[in-house]
Amino acid sequence: MRFWATIAAIIILDLFSKIRIMDLLNPGDSIPLIHNLFSLTFVMNRGAAFGVLQGKSWLFLIMAVLIVCIMIYVHLTYEVPAWVQYAMGLIVGGTIGNLIDRWSYGAVRDFFSIGWFPVFNVADMAIVIGGGLLILYLFLNDPDRKQIW
């Protein structure tokens, strides 16, 4: 249940935030919120997370579907600890959120801008946090465990 609820929550938050930003801004527009530190800047990102690999949408579609399928397979097949379920749910939810954009617009709607850092969205944050939690789990995991991770 944790896995599926996390996926649903991230997709809802991501899509709601993207719809709301489109109501507020046109692509390229920006609203400063914290002087020279944080702003809402609406861009259509044709690359991967944080703007890397611009123009490779077909590659991201394939990778996204593969990631989602692997994570769902792992969840359904193996005993996965609770916080790994949350981590995987964050990754899958974020991946699906950006996949919906890529399929619908040929690009991902990004809007959080922090100083010099590339513009990103809720889905990107979920993917990075979920990935970080999985890496942390791998480092902290007891090797004698009888679980997949």
| Active-site residue list | 110, 124
Distance in angstroms (rounded) separating the CA atoms of residues 137 and 39: 33
DSSP state of 50: G
**Could you give the CA distance from residue 16 to residue 81 in angstroms, rounded to a whole number?**
29
Find the helix packing angle between 122-140 and 82-105, rounded to 10°. 150
End-to-end distance of the chain based on CA atoms, in angstroms?
Answer: 19
Alpha helices in 25-121 (DSSP H): 57-77, 82-105
- The C-alpha atoms of residue 88 and residue 142 are separated, in whole angstroms, by 19
